[in-house]
Structure 1
Amino acid sequence: MNISRWVKIVGEVGGYALSRAITARRPRILMYHRFSRLPKNGYVSAEEFEWQVRYIARHLNPVTVSQIASSLYGSHELPRSSVAITVDDGYQDFYSIAWPILKKYGVPATFYVTTGFVSGDLWLWPDQLRYLLMKAPQSQATFDLGLFRIETPLSADDFESEFWRVNQILLLADDAQKLQCLASMARTWQVELPKRPPEAFKPVTWDQLKEMQAEGLEVGGHTVTHPSLARVSSEQARNEILGCGKMLEKMLGNVTRSFCYPNGTPDDFVGEQVQFVKDAGFSCAVVAFADDGEHRQRYAMRRHASSSDQFQFLKAVSGIELLGMKFRGHHLETRYD
């Protein structure tokens, strides 16, 4: 029997409750991205998300990320068994699907938005990549697009694996190279990218953010254009972070907000950029991974992935995943002064 199967069996007979009790003084942050009405690959369905939110409302104390930071690094008192739900990027499906469920159960959340995306100045590069691959030629050919080669036609069975293969290559490229590569793909395949994202990739609006903020949502920063901050110059990183903070203040007022690093892996973290996050007035910052360090660094607070996988959700929210990381000594570096 593998370890996951063992953990699942133990969890179902009281292990989840025991883990919640053991980790009651260790707040956790959950990470989400996309939502759908019905089950869909890469999305959390409305039914599954409601089950998870209901579980949190019954067994834990939901808070925002800034409330966790205020407790750990300030005078705010945090209840036991606190957990924060975070959602990245700024898609419309948060407003239409996730937020009504959160409101129904009185559960707050932190929504990290890419301000240029919300303003309609751009659409996110992974969505552009997916759109272009959907428009790939049906003829049999091999295309050398600089950073990678791709063979067409793409079969339905191979589409997702090919998308993620190219996605990972572009994640490691400089931001300018990445955008040039996508533009080259569009030219080569004679595909015109719409100025505004299609319905499937549509952002939330500023009016919707104002509405949700008034109802208790923490709207956090996620840069202006969503680059990996390790793949841009120091000046561009500064403009991305401070520009995001200024736009949030202009559109939503001067309130406490946290920041989220795009992509957020250890390879995307640059310690020197923490000063920009502080200068922009953000209360704290989160990364997109978890380890045994928890929230020891105010500007690199750890997050646990959640998804449509109910077992992964239960491991993360109950603290079993955290306890496992501590037992193994699983640690990732995010150094800054």
Structure 2
Amino acid sequence: MSSALYHTGLLPVLRAGSVWGTSGVFQVLTYHRVNDEADPFFPAVRTAVFEEHMAYVARTYRVLTVEEAHEGVRRRMLPRGALAITFDDGYRDNLTHAAPILARYGLPATVFVATGFVGGAEVPWFDRLALAFKETREQAITTAWGDTFALTTVQERLDALARVITYFKRLPDDHMRREADRLLGALGVTGRGRFKNLMLNWDDVHALTGLGFSIGAHTVNHPILSRVCAERAWTEIIGSRTMIRAACGRLPKAFAYPNGYAGDYTETVKHMVREAGFSCAVTSRFGLNTLRTPAFELRRGGPWEEHLPTFAVKLAAYRLAGLRGARRAA
């Protein structure tokens, strides 16, 4: 179906129906990693796929940074077909693999960095877990909460990893980190010292700004902000903003909530982000952004389809679905 729409020339009709030609609306794409490692424990968009998609986006949409898109819709000066590209967490392949492609097509993007991981030995807890489930010699593991997972095949390990991460994300952050360390010990792979070049360093961040990227804040240590106390949430929010200003000489305007789904941030957290001086914040909640979208609850999403026709059709269809949802909410 998607191939037929793409190759028969019907896609422009869908784009027209999806308000491609309407000003005052914008989509935001979310990425994390772009590389050719083909490691199922560390999923990434392949560079050839990313380039194909970005070539399509460049000739079809008007790409802005998320900060520019938000300002444009607020001032009612947003161009038609507006779309923003974002990356979360601050992986180094954003510079080595994604940035050259984006620069080739003249596309800006926003990279949301968790500042505590920039240039240091620490990495997100879920990456340490991924390495542990990948490399453990254990053939089965029983967790502290009573679940038992077989670990004899790659698929069993991937399934166990996904279930553990889902479980951990529901826990208070301090509790989660204790449980994660305990599980890493049981698996016999702590992951410390194994991720030298996984994350950006501050020189890399400067290089990205020189290529036209904007840098947004994503907390210091990437806790889910509804899982920490108010004092810790404020420290994470303002701390990331302060570190970016100190390193880059400019204040970040945009913030991204870690995980970012409903329940991962609260009204209090949104107020803190505003009080810290940010002009907007992005979530992981699907949708199209319009003048009615709250500035501190901007919508983002995929598609992350490898097949270009499917990517193109879904991008237009998601735009249409988002506009219809916005109209119903009005």
TM-score normalised per structure 2? 0.88
Inter-CA distance 71–34: structure 2 relative to 1 (3 Å threshold): same
Instruction: Verify the 8 A CA contact 1:284 1:298 in the aligned structure 2.
Output: yes
Counterpart AA for 1:297: P
Q: Distance in 1 between matches of 2:10 and 2:290?
A: 21
Is 1:258 matched with 2:254?
A: yes
Alpha carbons of structure 1 residues 325 and 80: separation in structure 2 relative to 1, 3 Å: closer
Higher relative contact order (CA 8 A, sep 6+): 2
Task: Say whether the 8 Å CA contact 1:229–1:268 is kept in structure 2.
Answer: yes
Letter in 2 for 1:47: A
Whole-angstrom CA distance in 2 between matches of 1:27 and 1:328: 14
Partner-residue secondary structure (3-state), 1:209: helix
Q: Distance in 1 between matches of 2:6 and 2:319?
A: 14
Shift of 1:44: 0.8
- What secondary structure is seen at the aligned counterpart in 2 of 1:86? strand
Where do 5+ consecutive residues of structure 1 fail to align? 333-337
Q: Which amino acid aligns with 2:14?
A: S
Partner of 1:70: 71
Q: Which amino acid aligns with 2:262?
A: P
Contact 1:43–1:308, Cα closer than 8 Å, also in 2: no
Matched, 1:10 2:5: yes
Which has the larger displacement, 234-243 or 254-263?
254-263
**Alpha carbons of structure 1 residues 84 and 327: separation in structure 2 relative to 1, 3 Å:** closer
- Per-residue displacement from partner, 1:196-243 (whole Å, max 9, x unpaired)? 6255xx101111111211221011111101111111111111111110
| C-alpha distance 154-180 of structure 1, shift in aligned 2 (>3 A) | farther
Give the 5 Å matches for 1:68-107: 68-74=69-75, 77-107=77-107
Match for residue 335 of structure 1?
A: none
Shift in CA distance, 79/144, structure 1 to aligned 2, threshold 3 Å: closer
Q: Contact 2:133–2:158 (CA<8 Å) still a contact in 1?
A: no
Residue in structure 2 matched with residue 302 of structure 1 by the alignment: 299
Deviations 1:34-85 (CA, angstroms, capped at 9, x unpaired)? 111365543111101111111111111110000011112237x332111111
CA–CA separation in structure 2 for the residues paired with 1:173 and 1:303 = 24
Query: What is the 5 A alignment of 1:123-272?
Result: 123-139=123-139, 141-146=140-145, 149-195=147-193, 197=195, 199=197, 202-272=198-268
In 2, Cα distance between the equivalents of 1:138 and 1:254?
47
Cα distance in 2 for partners of 1:312, 1:40 equals: 23
The alignment status of 1:53 with 2:51, answered yes or no, reads: no
Matched, 1:110 2:105: no
- 1:27 and 2:15 correspond: no
Q: Deviations for 1:80-139, whole angstroms, at most 9, x for unmatched residues?
A: 111111111100111110001001111100111100011416210110111121233335
Q: Which amino acid aligns with 1:169?
A: Y
Matched-pair identity in %: 27
Letter in structure 1 aligned against 2:12: A
Q: 1:142/1:164 Cα in 2 relative to 1: closer, same or farther (>3 Å)? A: closer
- SS of 2:9's equivalent? helix
Q: Choose 231-240 or 188-197, whichever is displaced more.
A: 188-197
Deviations 1:10-52 (A, max 9, x none): 3543343223332332211111111113655431111011111
Displacement after TM superposition at 1:292 (Å)? 6.0
Count of equivalent residues: 321
Q: 1:329, CA displacement in angstroms?
A: 7.7
Q: Aligned with 1:83: secondary structure?
A: strand
Residue of structure 2 in register with 1:43 after alignment: 44
**Residues 92 and 292 of structure 1: is their aligned pair in 2 closer, same or farther, counting only changes over 3 Å?**
closer
Q: Distance in 1 between matches of 2:296 and 2:177?
A: 28
In the alignment, structure 1 residue 274 sits paired with structure 2 residue 273: no
Distance 1:331 1:164, change over 3 A: farther
Offset of residue 325 of structure 1: 4.5
Counterpart of 1:74 in structure 2: which amino acid? R
Question: What CA distance in whole angstroms lies between the structure 1 residues aligned with 2:323 and 2:74?
Answer: 22
Q: Secondary structure at the match of 1:173?
A: coil
1:28 and 1:83 in contact (8 A); partners too: yes
Equivalent pair of 1:264/1:288 in contact (CA under 8 Å): yes
Q: Distance in 2 between matches of 1:94 and 1:32?
A: 9
**SS in structure 2 opposite 1:204?**
coil
TM-score by length of 1: 0.87
SS state at 1:23 partner = coil
Conserved 8 A contact 2:47-2:97: yes
Offset of 1:159 from its aligned partner? 2.0
